[in-house]
Structure 1
């Protein structure tokens, strides 16, 4: 089994999402001995944002310059790495109501027609199904308990939609919210997140492709 471990927080050792992805990967490996792990730190190795030079995989046109060839090779490497993984653990902090731009740039490289999705006469069909995606979601405030908060967040909601578009139905969330609301609130958030880690990795050990609620 192959696991792809991705971090995107820019806050280094202070990052809650990085702490949660590390715990999640450790728990998964304990439940699945022999799992191999690849690691990608998007705060260090973020792909460039989409540009005229990096759109080759969308236009289908052959690369005409060295820059275009390099960009196409990067997109191919990232989507191949993603498709080869059975499990993907993603650290996704909430930045300005959404995800880090580095994480968005990575997702933009994955969104390739013919690789992760295709269009048919009945609409789009995802091609990357059968994976488990576990998102370590960290939030300074509390967004999950009110309609107003849920309307403001475009982090978990976006990730559910985009991975669903890729055909992935098993998207699980390890959530720590309210981490900027004082020491007690942060401690409680981490306790709740640990429960999520144990629930999702334990469930995965028995039902590797069962859909879990966020």
Structure 2
């Protein structure tokens, strides 16, 4: 075991449920894999720019004339290098307006790169980021899982599973705390998520 990539995307800082859960997951993985190196990415404190026409021009071969753009491209390249180097990936992903934070979407835009993390072959797309274990710390105010009438509005976990699976990350465990805006259910939801983390095995 060499590397654990720890990604947070919540804008709530110390009030964030997903940040608390990712910290617990990483601590558990460190206990299971002593000596593992932790690579931390806080996508709020150090966010990459959203993709723009300037980015696309460079991707098509145009020169990099803006130093800020050059630095941002280097950050995006580092995201991809870190993902390939990781053995375990831990992602904090709260639900914002039925989907994921734009900061996390920005990270996905930088790691879903044709020819690097996926390719198109005779049988369609093929993910190239394989052999890794992914843990998603998911938090949402309502209840969207199971037979919930809100299940069709879940474009958070469903999107992440699709996007990660597209680039080859299919070994995914979701640690979920939902109903966090429903009063007394919040404490039980967090306790249940922490119990899931405690029960994780190597």
With the shorter chain as reference, the TM-score category is over 0.9
Mapping of residues 188-199 of structure 1, within 5 Å: 188-199=188-199
What is the Cα-based RMSD across aligned positions, in Å? 1.5
Question: Secondary structure of 1:63's match?
Answer: coil
The alignment of Structure 1 onto Structure 2 pairs a total of residues equal to: 200
Contact 2:129–2:168 at 8 Å: present in 1 too? yes
Partner residue, 1:210: none
Mapping of residues 118-197 of structure 1, within 5 Å: 118-146=119-147, 148-182=149-183, 184-197=184-197
How far apart in 2 are the matches of 1:173 and 1:48? Answer: 27
Displacement of 1:25 after TM fit?
Answer: 0.6
How far apart in 2 are the matches of 1:114 and 1:197? Answer: 35
Q: C-alpha offsets along residues 61-92 of structure 1, whole Å, 9 cap, x if unaligned?
A: 14342345334322211111111111110100
Structure 1, unaligned runs of 5 or more: 206-214
Question: Secondary structure of 1:5's match?
Answer: strand
Deviating above 4 A after TM superposition, structure 1's stretches of 4 or more consecutive aligned residues are none
Displacement of 1:22 after TM fit?
Answer: 0.6
Displacement of 1:4 after TM fit?
Answer: 0.6
How far apart in 2 are the matches of 1:162 and 1:197? Answer: 23
Contact 2:79–2:111 at 8 Å: present in 1 too? yes
C-alpha spacing 1:56/1:169, structure 2 compared with 1 (3 Å): farther
Q: C-alpha offsets along residues 142-198 of structure 1, whole Å, 9 cap, x if unaligned?
A: 11032532210111100100110011110110100011111x211110121012213
Q: Does 1:91 pair with 2:62?
A: no
TM-score normalised to structure 1 length? 0.88
How far apart in 2 are the matches of 1:107 and 1:57? Answer: 19
TM-score normalised to structure 2 length? 0.93
Partner residue, 1:23: 24
